[in-house]
Amino acid sequence: MTEMRIGMHVVFIDEHRRERDALLTAIHGDPQGRMCVSIRKPATELTEEEKASGEWDVDSHKPPIYAYKQKDGMNEVDYLEPGKHWPCINLVVVSDNESAQDQYGRQIDERHTSIVHWTNNSAQGYCFRFADEKVDRSAMQPTIS
């Protein structure tokens, strides 16, 4: 899996750990699963040349703690570790009931928002996986009794 896209098939794992076919309707983050982090350095490490360039902006702490690299008035970011930091998504669950069809095809049962990838979920339910992915339950955090 390299990139998420609206309309793609995912599998919703409900609160009972039952897997259900679903369609992705919104992506709340980087669709390639990369971590987005601001380019920063300790404010004390800024050179006089960097301070004068206008490319760095210090935070509002007194004294400043970090300086952030700027471009067009926005923090520049690095994208780290693709495929390891999947964002939350919204999805619609396709009905399990084969008779729940109309002229457009199978009905949808439910809509869910802010669903996390199974690797980011300690509850082992109410999450999603990609259709071609297998859930390794041993990699999930254990439930607390």
In 3-state terms, what secondary structure has residue 10?
A: strand
Contact indicator for 14, 121 with CB cutoff of 8 Å: no
Say if pTM beats, i.e. exceeds, 0.85. Answer: no
User: For the chain, what's the residue count?
Assistant: 145
| pLDDT the model gives residue 142 | 55
Beta bridge partners of 116: 127
| pLDDT the model gives residue 56 | 94
| pLDDT the model gives residue 91 | 97
Buried/exposed code over 30-69 (b: 16+ C-beta within 10 A; e: otherwise):
bbebbeeeeebeebeebeeeeeeeeebbeeeeeeeebbbb
**Intervals of the chain under pLDDT 50:** 145
| pLDDT the model gives residue 1 | 53
| pLDDT the model gives residue 139 | 61
The domain locations on the chain are: 9-33+83-139, 35-80
| pLDDT the model gives residue 16 | 87
| pLDDT the model gives residue 90 | 97
